A and B are shown apart, each in its own frame.
Chain A
Amino acid sequence: MAEKNKGRLTKVLDYLKYDDPFSKGVSFCPGCGLELLLRFIPRVLGNDIIITGTPSCSAPVLLGQNKQSWHTLSYFGTLMTGAAANATGLVRYYKKAGIDNTVVCFNGDGTANDIGFGNLSGAAERNEPFIYICYDNEGYMNTGIQKSGTTPYGATTTTTPYGTVHKGKNLRRMNLGVKMAMNKIPYTATATLSDLEDLAKKLLKAKKAKERGFCFLHVFAPCPTGWGANPADTIEICRQAVKTNYFPLWEAENGKIRMTKTVKKPKPVSSYTKLMKKFNHMTDADLQILQDDVEYETCLLGGLSVLEAECQLPVSAQD
């Protein structure tokens, strides 16, 4: 058990109620955002959760492909196409059998936003009582750094390389969090590793809200290897993503969006992009496109939070 520490910098320890179910040390990439996140979740939610995860970077971390990484959680390794449907099958059977459960469907952005979006959407429509966590590293990292639907404009990947004709991804990224919030599910939130108290609070809110149905957490999780960043900078990258509004922190109960961290004077997106190589080639004009997109998304989020405050979802649809 973690000791309660009232010190100024250690308030987050108050949320770490449970032992780390993972063995120490993972022989995977240093500075991996996914691993830090995955170790954090059961320490807040408890060790009796069932994690389901797809073939991805999460699979070797979760499965102990390497003998240095192992854990004591119940785990279901699933297919990328059907992870949310697997979680649905589990929770429905536990409901029928009267077994208490917390099922955490833990997948990357390729599964959540792209190939597995259909069943994620279906689980949201049916309001299935489990927590879906997408760790967003903006690409297919375990497969060798290919672009996904959440890869940002301008970023180079192995399928959007820098060339004489095309210079990185020439499409904008999709906003997975907002997409999910618009389903009016009991709880949606974004989070990242620089704001662990915020993340812990949101995990606990999700655990409570899953009694009323589907919960979705969109967690920004840097990939130093894929992004060409210094492994020591992982948390700083998260911090800059928040401070530039590149990845704003908010939550939504039944679709009603509320900022959990307001950035009064957002920094230019370049203070985020300069921390990694995947944006190195971008000109000022290219960066301006990314900046405009960030501002558009921030504006949209602000607008939605105002509009949603005025709109009333029928009570019957909320539970």
Chain B
Amino acid sequence: MNTTAISSNIQVITGNAAAAIAAKLARPDVVAAYPITPQTEVIEQISSFHASGDMDCELITVEGENSAMNAVMAASLAGGRVFTASSSWGLVFMYDAVLATAGARAPVVMVNVNRETPGIIAVSSGQQDMISTRDAGWIFLIAENCQEIMDLVLQSYRLAEDYDIQLPVMVHYDGFFLSYLSEGVEIPEQETVDQFLSVLKSQPKRTVLRPGEKLGVGTHGILGGYMELRHKHVTAMERSKAKFDAIDQEFADIFGRTYGGQLEEYLTEDADMVLVGSGSMCGTIKSVIDEQREKGVRIGLVKIRMYRPFPHQALVKALKGKKAIGVVDRSLAFGFDGGPIYTELKAFETKLGGAKLVSFIDGIANTDITKTNVKQMIQMTADLADGKDVPEVTWVSYPKANKDKGEK
């Protein structure tokens, strides 16, 4: 492992290494792995832990992502704790198994390193892979930095394997920007992680697939039974919101770091305007907000940490009464005028107490969301708050798209 020790428990590591170490600390029974850029380093590190005996798991080096998901789904249904990782096309290739895993309520934990999926050279960052699979029935969490990747993976096991939830969880983080970013990460002690996860052992035993126990799994739905299962799935997703907030609180008590659960609010309390973002862009946005605050601009940030189920109640609470809201999307929603998260926020615009909404599309295909870009977004949101005429959608790094708007 390529690390530089700063102190006994803080190391400078990549986002991928943070994911791999977190997986190791969770002590999974079965890990299935297949490489894909920019996730590859995750499974390389896990293979290295496995080879050196630091990770006592069954490591299945499968022949494709579809098998990775199928293998961990089955191991999970048999009663095991599991981990896998993917990205982009890999996530797409495992899609049928991704759906089956959710439908079977298998508490699988995986990381997805966000990457674009168009047919042009797509080795670039963007959240389109996440958006393309958003309604598969998984819980989706998004990390902002390497420390949060580590912490979210640990929290994910508590969420996925909770007896009241029993759903797969995917931890997303921006490919390239975070996968290969090295920064100081506090690595918890094994004993602390064991303590944090020990709650799961004292739960009622979930139904598992064992030899001779006469259980059928993945059987054909019989009309009414299917509706019942789907409804239970949806209500378990709803339960996961409050559960995630509670887990975050407990995490804070043990590890000393808190993020706020479904949403992280940054200087929103007295803000007139708010940007809504997710992932690595939030670090940049926070630094620009700090500068703007010094100039007296009352701007804040709402960072979406839980994307599925969509935390709409929490968002209403955080955004209600603001003058203007700028939503930053790192992906596209075809047929809607605006990015996917913007479009979803628009659905409950009436509950926001008159707040005006505007959509920014930026950071797709590895374009940087720079401080200059963020300043522009804040300026436009301020103009919207002042009642000026602001276009509903702005492609921040590609001004030509805005000029072309309306042309054939």
* A interface residues (Cβ-Cβ under 8 A, vs B): 47-50, 52, 59-60, 63, 65, 72-79, 81-90, 92-97, 99-102, 118-119, 121-122, 125-126
On whether the beta carbons of A59 and B220 are closer than 8 Å, the reply is: yes
Q: State the majority secondary structure of interface residues on B.
A: mixed
Binds A, one of B70-78, B167-175, B249-257, B369-377: B70-78
Total A-B residue contacts, Cβ distance less than 8 Å:
143
Closest to A76 in B: B217
Query: Would you give 26 A-B contacts (Cβ < 8 Å), ordered by A?
Result: A48-B211, A59-B220, A63-B216, A74-B211, A75-B216, A76-B77, A77-B216, A78-B74, A81-B96, A81-B97, A82-B70, A85-B62, A86-B70, A90-B209, A92-B75, A93-B29, A93-B78, A93-B79, A94-B211, A96-B29, A96-B57, A97-B79, A99-B211, A119-B67, A121-B63, A126-B61
Interface size on B, residues (CB 8 A): 41
Say yes or no: is B120 at the interface (Cβ < 8 Å to chain A). no
Flag if A65 contacts B220 (CB, 8 Å): yes
Contacting pair A82 B67 (CB below 8 A): yes
Contacting pair B60 A97 (CB below 8 A): no
CB of B60 within 8 A of CB of A92, answer yes
Given contacts A79-B97, A122-B64, contact A95 B58 (CB under 8 A): yes
Cα of A62 to Cα of B374 in the assembled complex, Å: 58
User: Does chain A have a CB within 8 A of B195?
Assistant: no
Chain B residues with Cβ under 8 A from A73's Cβ? 214
Is B213 in the interface zone, CB < 8 Å from A?
yes
Contact of A92 among B58, B64, B209, B217 (CB under 8 A): B58
CB pair A76–B64 under 8 Å, yes or no, is no
User: Chain B residues with Cβ under 8 A from A82's Cβ?
Assistant: 66-67, 69-71, 96-97
Residues of B within 8 A of A (CB): 29-30, 32, 57-58, 60-64, 66-80, 82, 96-97, 100, 209-220
Kindly list chain A residues whose C-beta atoms are within 8 Å of the C-beta of B69: 82
Residues of A within 8 A of B67 (CB): 82, 84-85, 88, 118-119, 122
Question: Hey, which chain A residues are within 8 Å of B68, CB to CB?
Answer: 85
Enumerate chain A residues within 8 angstroms of B216, measured Cβ to Cβ. Answer: 63, 74-77
The answer to whether A74 touches B80, judged by C-beta atoms less than 8 angstroms apart, is no
Q: Which residue of chain A has its CB nearest to the CB of B34?
A: A122
Partner of B63, one of A49, A74, A118: A118
Shortest Cβ distance from residue B294 to the other chain A in the assembled complex, whole angstroms: 54
Cβ contact within 8 Å between B74 and A76:
yes
A74 to B217 CA separation, bound complex (whole angstroms): 8
